[in-house]
Structure 1
Amino acid sequence: MRPSHEANVTASGRAIGAPDAPEPLAAGVWTLAGGRLIIAEPGGPATVLVPTEQVRLLAVDLPLPNRTKRLEALPFAIEDQIAEPVESVHLALGAEIAPKRYLVAVVRHDVMAGWIDTADAAGLGHAAMVPDALALPRPDAGTWAVDLAADRAVVRAGDGTGFAVSPAILQAAWQGAGRPPALAYGAPLPAEMAAGGSTLAPAALSERLLAPALDLRQGLYTRRRTALPNIWRRLGWIVALGAAAHVVIAAADTVMLRTIADRREADTRALVAVAAPGANLSGDLAASVADLLPTGGSAPPDIFLPLLTRISGALGPLTGAITIRAINYQANALTLDLDGSDPALVSRIEAALRESRVPGSVTRSPDGSIRITASNA
């Protein structure tokens, strides 16, 4: 993945003398860094790569027959895997990465809205928006693809998900994940990690992003289409007026559909009463029936890497002032022992955790080391 500092064109809003409504940038892959859009590769589909540090990528089981039903079930499927309230985050459904298992992205609404504003201001409101970890090729199962740079390490795992951490934490995260073979697509990896993998040159970004595994521009944030010529705009108005003419007919149909729905609800209650005598069907019928269905596996969600990713993002501005001594994970609590000589380092770490909404405590040991204890609560 091309480092942002090597890019030769930037778009940070309108250029001097540009009109109020910028012309759409029809093509090219752009990276979003420091609130600016930076060209990474001209040509190819218009795509904005956003920092994976601010996106949670999950592999979620959704054994449902169509996309509409999967979207309806998605908030319930992931609510126990995230720390934020479901209503405060945007959920994007991606590709099927295993039978009935799908890639899902979670990003806060305020973050997503800021990215959309930046893209719109640069004339890229029509571009796909993809977490930059998904620009790496997906490796084989049990393997990591790693793009290591001076200030961050981006990882894509064999299950199709990905994350980004500080280079200071990369090796500890790799050890915590069971030391998977690692393929390097950026700077050379630490010797211990490189022993089980190799250094590769990926295909061009534009080729890898022809069909991205996930586009964040969904739901409330669906992509804005590029401007249409006048003739097509007029045709659009004609179609819209024709659709409006059918609203009256649709309203009449709604009454009949409500009658049919009431009849089917009564039939469903009768069937459940036969299949599960004594079941409580008061309140919402769909929720009551869902409660009678068998649940999935009881294995707890894997929160080690997500929690480590959140802490790494919080400590990013302090990378040069700290050294990771040890990482320990037990009983859903992650403990990091750090070395640092700055007397104010404890308060700086506490402030960084608070700003990133990471619940945890910071203490200094008698030997001078600093311990961070955090949980996914």
Structure 2
Amino acid sequence: MTTAARPIGAPDQTNAPAAGVWTLAGGRLIIAEPGGPATVLVPTEQVRLLVVDLPLASRAKRLDALPFAIEDQIAEPLDSVHLVLGAEIAPRRYLVGVVRHELMTAWVDIAEEAGLGHAAIVPDALALPRPGEGQWAVDLGTERAVVRAADGSGFACPTPLLRAAWQAAGSPPAIAYGAPLPDDMLLAEGGLAAQGLSARLLNPALDLRQGPYARRRVALPNIWRRLGWIAALGAAAHIVIATADTLMLQHIADRRAQETRTAAALAAPGANLGGDLAASVADLLPSGPAARPDLFLPLLSRLSGALGPLSGGLAVRGIRFQANTLTMDMDAGDAGLIGRIDAALRAARISGQVTQSPDGSIRITARTA
């Protein structure tokens, strides 16, 4: 007796409930932990996780500034990628995700077909606990390693590249949450069994389902809708009371703004004070040396993702990073390896080149955008 073929994105479970934590692998959803908030974990190799300084007061302003803040850290055209603003991981520093639109569309379609249209979509590196200062959290598998760094970001790479990436990052002590790590890398064994995936993903640091890909809301039972109306009516009463206070505060703010403009005009005659008074005044202040953005991990993540299909034939000798250039040296491979690496770089739109030394070793030089 033959059975109907399972749709490509269908869950790997009969009559699966639309809840729990699911892992997307090979175009299929596989249940990782039943129960808890519906979440789909996607490969971090296909999502760039960045840490970006956005010293702006409101989320709307941060979203407006986001494309300009990351445009020098990505190679893709801005209109080809979905930008996601995540949690504040330090004062005025935010986790940011970048994923191509076609990938995001495919992931949402798979989730919808599986009855998980309301699920969060989260890079799997963010399912690891955030480690302490100067540490890594590592889930080491047979084919890939998933890493979360102390700044809250993360990346994934083929297992053979992990040691070289770890050395290039300054050999941070690592906490193992997967297969055992070598003794020189290991700080401690993790304890994920004590806290399940559902608990760790109750409030993910970054949900890719934002903007045009925002999650579909699940219909609420009648009793919850009624409670919602009651809460809304109560909130409306508070809004009426607060409106008077807001008008008074606006009057005070206008007066303070005029005083600030007058003081700025005296301190810097001829200065152009635009509509955004705070930004205009901040531009007049002397700027000290700013910390350089972390370009190493994002570039390494992109390169690792590009080389992932070739990882079985790669033997990395070392990785170096200077200014905006990452250099990766590896042992000689078969005759066509250089061509396949070069094609992988071009397919991933990574600016760089592949060369071969007289002794046969291969060098990859990749640069940030």
Q: TM-score, normalised by structure 2?
A: 0.80
Which residue of 45, 48, 52 corresponds with 1:60? 52
* Distance across 1 between alignment mates of 2:281 and 2:77: 25
* Distance across 1 between alignment mates of 2:83 and 2:289: 23
1:171-201 deviation per Cα after TM superposition (whole angstroms, max 9, x unaligned)? 111111111110100001123212x333533
Measure how far apart 1:52 and its partner are.
Answer: 0.8
2:359 counterpart residue number: 367
Measure how far apart 1:75 and its partner are.
Answer: 2.5
Q: Tell me, what secondary structure is at the counterpart of 2:30?
A: strand
2:33 matched to 1:41?
yes
2:309 matched to 1:317?
yes
* Distance across 2 between alignment mates of 1:291 and 1:337: 43
2:135 matched to 1:155?
no
1:200 counterpart residue number: 191
1:351 counterpart residue number: 343
| More displaced 10-residue stretch of structure 1: 58-67 or 117-126 | 58-67
- In 2, are the aligned partners of 1:363 and 1:372 still within 8 Å (CA)? yes
2:95 matched to 1:95?
no
Measure how far apart 1:82 and its partner are.
Answer: 2.6
Distance 1:11 1:46, change over 3 A: farther
1:48-67 deviation per Cα after TM superposition (whole angstroms, max 9, x unaligned)? 11111111222222333332
- In 2, are the aligned partners of 1:94 and 1:214 still within 8 Å (CA)? yes
Measure how far apart 1:114 and its partner are.
Answer: 1.8
1:3 counterpart residue number: none
2:42 matched to 1:50?
yes
Letter in 1 for 2:29: L
- In 2, are the aligned partners of 1:11 and 1:38 still within 8 Å (CA)? no
Q: Tell me, what secondary structure is at the counterpart of 2:309?
A: helix
- In 2, are the aligned partners of 1:59 and 1:159 still within 8 Å (CA)? yes
Distance 1:296 1:216, change over 3 A: farther
For 1:132-171, list aligned pairs within 5 A: 132-171=124-163
1:131-168 deviation per Cα after TM superposition (whole angstroms, max 9, x unaligned)? 11110111111111100001110111122111111111
2:113 matched to 1:121?
yes
* Distance across 2 between alignment mates of 1:370 and 1:220: 42
- In 2, are the aligned partners of 1:151 and 1:166 still within 8 Å (CA)? yes
For 1:168-187, list aligned pairs within 5 A: 168-187=160-179
For 1:211-360, list aligned pairs within 5 A: 211-227=203-219, 273-280=265-272, 291-292=283-284, 297-360=289-352
Distance 1:326 1:69, change over 3 A: same
1:71-128 deviation per Cα after TM superposition (whole angstroms, max 9, x unaligned)? 2332233233333333332222222222232222222222222211221122211101
* Distance across 1 between alignment mates of 2:206 and 2:323: 32
- In 1, are the aligned partners of 2:45 and 2:156 still within 8 Å (CA)? yes
2:9 matched to 1:13?
yes
| More displaced 10-residue stretch of structure 1: 147-156 or 53-62 | 53-62
| More displaced 10-residue stretch of structure 1: 197-206 or 341-350 | 197-206
* Distance across 2 between alignment mates of 1:218 and 1:138: 22
| Contiguous gaps of at least 5 residues in structure 2 | 1-5, 229-253
- In 2, are the aligned partners of 1:340 and 1:369 still within 8 Å (CA)? yes
- In 2, are the aligned partners of 1:282 and 1:288 still within 8 Å (CA)? yes
Percent identity reads 69
Letter in 2 for 1:100: R
Aligned length: 335
* Distance across 1 between alignment mates of 2:216 and 2:135: 36
Q: Tell me, what secondary structure is at the counterpart of 1:81?
A: coil
1:186-222 deviation per Cα after TM superposition (whole angstroms, max 9, x unaligned)? 001123212x333533421111111111211111211
* Distance across 2 between alignment mates of 1:141 and 1:26: 37
Distance 1:42 1:352, change over 3 A: same
* Distance across 2 between alignment mates of 1:98 and 1:229: 38
1:304-362 deviation per Cα after TM superposition (whole angstroms, max 9, x unaligned)? 22212211111111111121122222232211111233111111111111111111111
2:78 matched to 1:82?
no
2:124 matched to 1:111?
no
| Contiguous gaps of at least 5 residues in structure 1 | 1-9, 237-262
* Distance across 2 between alignment mates of 1:160 and 1:352: 28
- In 2, are the aligned partners of 1:90 and 1:109 still within 8 Å (CA)? yes
Distance 1:12 1:321, change over 3 A: same
Higher relative contact order structure (alpha carbons within 8 Å, sequence separation ≥ 6): 2
